[in-house]
Amino acid sequence: MSEFKSAGARFITVDGKYRVWTKRVGDSPIKVLTLHGGPGACHLYFECFEDFLPQAGIEFYYYDQLGSLFSDDPDDLSLWTIDRFRDEVEQVRLALGLDHFILYGQSWGGMLAIEYALKYQEHLKALVISNMTASIPCYVDYLNELRRKFPEEVQRTLAKCEAAGDYEAPEYQEAMYKQLYGAHLCRLDPYPAPVDLSFRFLNPRIYNHMQGPNEFVVTGTFKDWDRWADLPQIRVPALVMAAEHDTMSPEELARMAKLMPNGRLAFCPNGSHLAMWDDQEVYFRELIRFLKS
């Protein structure tokens, strides 16, 4: 299925006609396939993994999902479904020759990892769900809980622009950046270059179709996604990674860990949605401990 290899990087053909990009980093019996967030983001914000995982004897794979950065970007809205992305992950696994491997998913990638585990669990050694709750409606409820703590003037600005459908208004973008992104997405200022580039290269066509215009306005195709009732079916060892300042409720993520028979929780007290950047010491200590266990 592969097209070529170069320094660990290769294209893999999926759905018989599209190419997705992957890259292996490290060489170890402990193998981790990463699923980035978005949907429509890319692997770039995972680049900090290179400073921690290989040194700990862990091999991992970058993977840009279809429509993301180095992978093909077909103009076909019918492709952007949870089920198709889940089965794309299986095609990538087969092409990479991975079995009894660890699947790591962050944010949207965590949702995708849950979906993969529920259908293809026999291929997994373990699962990591980072910064992702088990339900989009729960995610929206928690975001609105955070929003109610914003200054009243900011809340009025957000409501005014949303009523007009003007999500690109400068005052709306400024409010989102100061009150949400800077406090709950990544608490470093300025953003590290890989984080900044990930936002720059986000594919809005996929993000808007599946999620909606932004974090507060979730109107896309996965808005009703909910897997709380199915978590007990995930029997492989599973690590749920939560953070105090995340856009996902820490309490809900703790509940997720308890619902999976072999689940456990890692908590980053200083982290946000991108805790691998703003609570690095705790994040990678807990992640590596789990991966090596």
What is the pTM (predicted TM-score) of this model? 0.96
* Level-2 CATH architecture, domain 2-136+188-292: 3-Layer(aba) Sandwich (3.40)
Catalytic machinery residues = 107, 246, 273
Q: What pLDDT sits at residue 1?
A: 46
C-alpha distances out from residue 112 to 35, 38, 143, 239, 265, Å: 8, 11, 20, 15, 19
Q: What percent of the chain has pLDDT over 70?
A: 98
pLDDT 10s digits, 161-198? 999 999 999 999 999 988 999 999 999 999 999 999 99
Encoded amino acid at 129, one letter: I
- The whole-chain average pLDDT of the chain stands at 96
pLDDT 10s digits, 2-53? 444 567 999 999 999 999 999 999 999 999 999 999 999 999 999 999 999 9
Scanning the structure block, which residue is given the tokens 């492989």?
A: 236
